Chains A and B, each alone.
Chain A
Amino acid sequence: MTALDRIAHAGRWRRLPLAEKALLALGLLALALILPPWPGAVLVLAAAALAALAGARVPPGAWLGAFAAPAAFIATGALALVVTWGEDGLALVAEPLVAVRPALRALAATAALLLLALTTPAPVLVKALRLPPELADLALALYRFLFGLLDTLRAMQAAQQARLGGAGSIRSAGLLAAALLPRALERARRLEIGLAARLHTGTLDTLAAEPAPSPRRLAAIAILLAAVAGGAAWLQ
């Protein structure tokens, strides 16, 4: 499992109705995009981080760990915005602050995405998309195969390194990928045979019903979102 997935499955907000978590996280995500980055994005970032840390009680270390990787990518992306292709190669732009706005917006949006990802397991979200049953099955099968394959890949990498395999060479990586794909397909085939042997014809859906959202909490979330938007307008 990935760190995000583990927290989402075991977290305090796991059993809360999806509509409440989605309204909060996607509402903050929309605000991050719509509000002016200063002070809007800063308020959204604070609200999303607070909801995850204080509300859902995500361990601070885990939240920072999950936030660090995308933040590093955003920083690299922002660096690309402060340089320009001048007459003598790359040069700094006249106004380096132009990069701060998209970076702030992206950081706030990432915090909102994390709020959803850390409180709601991905299959719950896939189910809420109401895809055609064939595609929903496909997405759920993909999700279920992920973790087994990741473990297999790690074991194969360890085995390759233990045999002094050229870790990092294209040939080694290619052999790993080539060994993994037949294993993945074979696992799928065995599972299919197993299902067929049990005369399975239905869907792979195994999720329990989601609890109904509470109108009071939905209203409270809407008020919170309005407060963030109002606070941003006021501070500006």
Chain B
Amino acid sequence: MEWKLFADLAEVAGDRHVVVPVDGEDEGTATVGDALDALLEDRPALRDRVLDDDGELREHINVLREGTNVFNEDGLETAVDAGDELALFPPVSGG
């Protein structure tokens, strides 16, 4: 599964594009949450940046699957297929 990371998330993770194996991606049983866990396992520095103290995704971090905000679908329970592009983006404030 390929993750695309925006703004400072790419710097924290060390790459703009990160490919991670996700259990169940070929069987169609994987979710966005599984793919996020796999990403954070692969790039542990990103964990504190995107999760709060309770391990929940921070309010200002958005997750896209194939260009659609997963919070308009089933959130982290949204199913993912092998080959889907996932993205994580924060707001930026520079002017």
Do A and B actually bind? no
